Structure 1
Amino acid sequence: MKALLLAFSLLTFLAGCTGQPIHDPLRPPPPDLPYRTWEIGLLAPNYMEVWVESVDVLDQRGIGYYRVHGGVSSIQNPPDNRGDPRGWPARPGAGKTMPMTGIDLPEMVVVRWQSLAEPQTYRVRIDIPEAIRQEMVTPYPAFCRFDGQHIQDYRAVVTIGLAPGGIAKAWLSGDCLEPIEIGRFVGSVHPDGPDEGRTNGRYALPLAPAAQQYIDSHGIPFGSW
């Protein structure tokens, strides 16, 4: 037993000196990316508030990661019905982002969310083509308007827009590059309801007053997304 403890202590000491961790055969090696991490962003149309229960990722190595993102999405609720929830912006922002640290490029993303405007619970599968993964590691010269700098940039943010009716739209964007569309996806009603049926049909959050006012006045523009 003393010999085993001595051997382990020696390995730990050597690893600390060299800066190299002891190899764990159950842990995959870090992804080989030209940047530290890629990101997932979440957004919703004006007033069409959502609560994201889970974002799951299958990476290109075939490794699954569960509940890597969630909660409220990025949204604007202008007062006095001044906003327009119809359609998607020509240049969507990144949304509410979360770094996918240690996760390789995505092959599939699955989102389960509560559409609070209806309310209804949906689940959607978003397949990421190989061409999009190649785009994520392709550098481009870019001009950043916010600071006037010319840089080399990557499209490393997968932004997912979530709308009533189970509609999801996905884009790929960079800090200073124009977004490109990944695709439009139609989810299905999640039969267990909110929070996998654990809340007896109660949704996570009430609508904000401005969102409720818009829906009471104009309804939900189904078909515009």
Structure 2
Amino acid sequence: MNLFAEFWAWIGRPEQWEGPAGIPVRFAEHVGYSALALGISALIGVSLGLLTGHTGRGGFLAASLANVARALPTIGVLFLVVLFTGIGIVPVLAALVALAVPPILVNTYEGVRGVDADLKDAARGMGMRGWTVLWRLEVPVALPLILLGLRTAAIQVVATATIAAYVGIGGLGRYIVDGQARREYDMVVGGSVLVVLLALAVAVLFLLLRRYGVSAGLRRRGSGVA
């Protein structure tokens, strides 16, 4: 039996759609953890990226720390935080935020710093000052790169949120972990495919945001950093 046949056989069973271990519940848990982690990461990464990019201060340090954070093993961060806080949602969020902040921060910083100096001079010539330049010029121009950072982080978070299952939390990762423990490999395949499909859905969502939220003349900037 190939993987697709195993997946369809597993997902087609009525019991997979019922109860606290059913696909709807596990899907909602996975999306909930992922959305919360991405929201916290966006608040941190976008704020720091805008601040350092606009002022030109602390950008090198922020980018360096972000690159160091990229090298941290997510599962290692998870279990390290468990040692200090115990089992729960906090270790999962800490690990996912450490994973997601770097691409958001770096892309936001690079997007703002990359705004053409002539555009800034023209904005100041029109009477814009300080943070008005940031919100009315730099953010709209940097938006493609900001969205790229958010998309990269969102896909990584969705794919990595399966680690929640290792510390007794739910989500789609439970199918992978429980399936391995029980040697029910159709469950492993089913959970893996659902995570892949969710990650693809997130990628499509951000492509739509880029398509309809960014002007055509600025879209090519979204192919930059990552």
Whether these two folds match at TM > 0.5 is no
Higher relative contact order (CA 8 A, sep 6+): 2
Structure number with the higher helix fraction is 2
Q: Which has the higher strand share?
A: 1
Query: Normalising by the residue count of structure 1, what TM-score does the alignment of the two structures yield?
Result: 0.23
